[in-house]
Structure 1
Amino acid sequence: MGEIRASEVVSAACDALVAGLDTPGLRTLAACTRAEADYDVHDLLPTALAELGLSFYPVASKVGQEAAARALARHMLAGELTPREFTLRIHQRYGHELPLTERLAELDDEYDILEYGDRTMDQVDAEVAAEARRLATRPTVPAHLTDTPS
């Protein structure tokens, strides 16, 4: 979702090998040097994830954007982001264009006008938290069902 560097993906692959996961693609990914990581991770990651039975969602796809939004929601719920930081990131990434996150973009706008309205920061924070819970618990739809041309 664009939140970590390619070298961190390589480190995670190494950690997975140490933890006992072992596939050819994971070994290839873990073998990347820091210099190679920026160039090779994007090509190697889908294979490594598939071998582990995990889904890879291209970042630019609708399903990838939705998966990234759900991941950010989980980060907020874990206390790694404030509600305001969460809505700002969602709004910056997707504007008002991604239906799944439209309400969050609207709530980001509400933060900007709090001093002129009748809502408080706590009220907007509570609504953001409710939206984050909705996103975090939303089932993931397989890519082949959502990105298929009609």
Structure 2
Amino acid sequence: MVAAEALARNVDSPALRELAGCSALDDARDIRALHLDAMAELGLSMPEADRVLWEKARQWARRMVDETVRPHEGALRIDRYSVVLESPNGLAEFTYLLDLWGEYPALRKELEISMVEEARRLLRLSDNAA
């Protein structure tokens, strides 16, 4: 999704185009490799690229807390950043909640509440780090 958004803003590279075509079914290691290749092709350093991905994750968390996006949708978006960032603390929890979402449909309401709580926690951690 991030790659497609970048292409829409006229940021382009061969690896970025390939990355834009990836889906949640693609191997996380392949996605990470394409991400690294795209950053190198665009002349971006990894710390800067990682900072941007964390900021995007925080934006989705804010949308979840503000109720402008459904918790499941926000968690899916954050999970994509988690994959590229190799599941760091603070984002990996969304992957776990999404796994539960798929396995236990009867618990989805409770899981949505947990997703929003995780989003709040992520925002608190971000505020404390700033």
TM-score by length of 2: 0.56
- Tell me how far apart the structure 2 counterparts of residues 4 and 91 of structure 1 sit (CA, whole Å): 16
2:100 is aligned with 1:110: yes
Report the AA paired with residue 113 of structure 1.
E
- Tell me how far apart the structure 2 counterparts of residues 80 and 58 of structure 1 sit (CA, whole Å): 27
Aligned length: 92
Report the AA paired with residue 106 of structure 1.
Y
Contact 2:57 2:81 in 1 (8 A): no
Report the AA paired with residue 48 of structure 2.
P
Match of 1:130 in 2: 117
- Tell me how far apart the structure 1 counterparts of residues 128 and 53 of structure 2 sit (CA, whole Å): 12
Q: CA deviation at 1:74?
A: 0.3
Query: Which of the pair is proportionally richer in helix?
Result: 2
Query: What are the superposed Cα offsets for residues 35-55 of structure 1, whole Å, 9 maximum, x if unpaired?
Result: xx625xxxxxxxxxxxxxxxx
Match of 1:14 in 2: none
Contact 2:79 2:95 in 1 (8 A): yes
Query: What are the superposed Cα offsets for residues 34-81 of structure 1, whole Å, 9 maximum, x if unpaired?
Result: xxx625xxxxxxxxxxxxxxxxx833x2x3332221111001112221
Report the AA paired with residue 109 of structure 1.
D
Change (3 A) 1:71 1:93: same
Equivalent of 1:83 in 54, 66, 71: 71
Equivalent of 2:59 in 55, 65, 71: 71
Change (3 A) 1:91 1:6: closer
Report the AA paired with residue 112 of structure 2.
D
Task: State the 4+ residue runs in structure 1 displaced beyond 6 angstroms.
Answer: none
- Tell me how far apart the structure 1 counterparts of residues 108 and 78 of structure 2 sit (CA, whole Å): 18
Report the AA paired with residue 127 of structure 1.
S
Contact 2:82 2:88 in 1 (8 A): yes
Equivalent of 1:38 in 10, 13, 34: 10
Indicate the structure (1 or 2) with the bigger Cα radius of gyration: 1
What stretches of structure 1 of length at least 5 have no aligned partner?
8-36, 40-56, 143-150
Change (3 A) 1:105 1:122: same
